[in-house]
A and B are shown apart, each in its own frame.
Chain A
Amino acid sequence: MTEPARRVFLGRDASWAERVRVYRTDEALEVAYISTFDVSLRRLFFDEVQLVTLHRARGSRTLWLLIALSALCALGTLISWSTPVLGNGFLTVTVIVLAWTLGTALIQSSIITAYGGRARVRIRFLYRPGRARRVYDDLCRRVGEVQGRIAAAAAAAVASASRPEEPFPEPPVS
């Protein structure tokens, strides 16, 4: 029987500058910042999570970039319209970029953010809001369990420390 995975892949948070993959372990969220040759890890331990949020948003910067790209392609189509081959090529690219822009404008991604005292983890789900909700619920449950366990252990330690010592037994009276 194969051993269950210790690092479970939750999702990614890609940006223009870096590739980020987020994993869950038994005790922390691990954020892997991936370059071509190296992976750097940062961990957000469950016992230091202060807030977990889930919201929906559009990639506004990507949208603006795509709108600019669409405008450029449309301009290229207009300029090269007199040359059939070039004009048709530009038109095809314009249609593809416009469809991509429209898709980006319509689709809202679900984003989970976990805030700790020293780190922040963000996971972006582009197409699956249901999975985002499941991951969010699971994350909240795990954080609550871990923090509750630590709080219970601390309370037990305090209780045992503050318990009055038992007095010495009275010597038997003969």
Chain B
Amino acid sequence: MAVSARAETGPSCPHCGAPLLVELMAAGEQRCVACTRPFAAVPFSPPVVRVVVQSVAEAGPDGAVACALHPGNAAVANCSRCGVFMCGLCRVQIDGRELCPACFDRLAAEGALPSARSHFRNYRGMALLMSLGGCLMYSFGLLTGPVTIYFAVQAQRQRRRLQESDGRLAVIFAMTLGVVQIAGGLWILAVLLGAAARLVAR
């Protein structure tokens, strides 16, 4: 896997890496105290969202359904997959669904939640690799061409699924080279068959 684990230490100077105190910064042109080099910056203060959880005792007799995992907390929703009662701590809202932690873990592991997916196949890269590699091995065009086109089609489907704005040219390029490989393979096959026919005729 290409990703290495890097400890994030918070905002720092983009030039020298010296730590910055965001609380003391104003939006606009800045100069690093350590290296004195300039940079533009806009600081933000991320809002801290606290989940308010009502206890069963506070909820009163009308809303006194306990959470399956936290018996002291009042449930606020059902899991849309397994139906278990969930409190505000347990509720995971993702892709228009409300899930309990167990169902979320299971669906995320299965790759059924598009928003939670963090690994997928690089079909575009494989299509480009196969298209260029296939051109180098042009005599096997009948084998490499269909594989290239398959990867290019998968790459296009992936682009649509992820709703990406880029990559169309790469897919078209790979698909064109795939067709060229097949044509080249057919031509080589025709030449070989012709030569074989001439041999048989003699």
Binary per-residue interface labels of chain A (40-78) against chain B in the complex, 1 for a CB within 8 Å, 0 otherwise: 111100011111111101000000000000000000000
User: Would you call B164 and A50 a contact (CB within 8 A)?
Assistant: no
Q: How far is the CB of A38 from chain B (nearest CB, A)?
A: 6
**A27 to chain B: closest residue by CB:** B115
Q: How far is the CB of B193 from chain A (nearest CB, A)?
A: 36
Pick the contact of B37: A3, A39, A55 (CB < 8 A): A55
Q: Does chain A have a CB within 8 A of B71?
A: no
Q: How far is the CB of A19 from chain B (nearest CB, A)?
A: 8
Given the known interface contacts A40-B3, A161-B52, the answer about A5 and B122 at a Cβ–Cβ threshold of 8 Å is: no
Interface size band for A? 35 or more
User: Would you call A7 and B165 a contact (CB within 8 A)?
Assistant: yes
Chain B residues with Cβ under 8 A from A47's Cβ? 46-47
**A116 to chain B: closest residue by CB:** B8
Q: Does chain B have a CB within 8 A of A136?
A: yes
Q: How far is the CB of A4 from chain B (nearest CB, A)?
A: 8
Chain B residues with Cβ under 8 A from A144's Cβ? 42, 44
User: Would you call A55 and B163 a contact (CB within 8 A)?
Assistant: no
Provide the main secondary structure of the chain A interface.
strand
A18, A50, A118 pick with most chain B CB within 10 angstroms:
A50
Pick the contact of A5: B38, B41, B165 (CB < 8 A): B165
**Segment among B10-18, B61-69, B73-81, B98-106 that sits at the interface with chain A:** B10-18
User: Would you call A50 and B118 a contact (CB within 8 A)?
Assistant: no
Q: How far is the CB of B157 from chain A (nearest CB, A)?
A: 14
Q: A18 CA to B1 CA in the complex, in Å? A: 10
**A141 to chain B: closest residue by CB:** B42
**Segment among A87-95, A99-107, A149-157, A166-174 that sits at the interface with chain B:** A149-157
Q: A39 CA to B49 CA in the complex, in Å? A: 31
Chain A residues with Cβ under 8 A from B44's Cβ? 49-52, 143-144, 147
Known: A7-B165, A38-B2, A55-B14. 17 other contacts (CB 8 A): A6-B163, A9-B165, A18-B2, A34-B2, A35-B1, A38-B120, A41-B119, A48-B46, A49-B44, A51-B11, A51-B42, A53-B39, A115-B12, A116-B46, A117-B46, A150-B49, A151-B47
- Chain A residues with CB under 8 Å of chain B are 3, 5-9, 18-19, 23, 33-43, 47-55, 57, 111, 113, 115-120, 136, 140, 143-144, 147, 150-151, 154, 157, 161
3 smallest CB-CB distances across A and B, nearest first, come from A6-B163, A55-B39, A5-B165
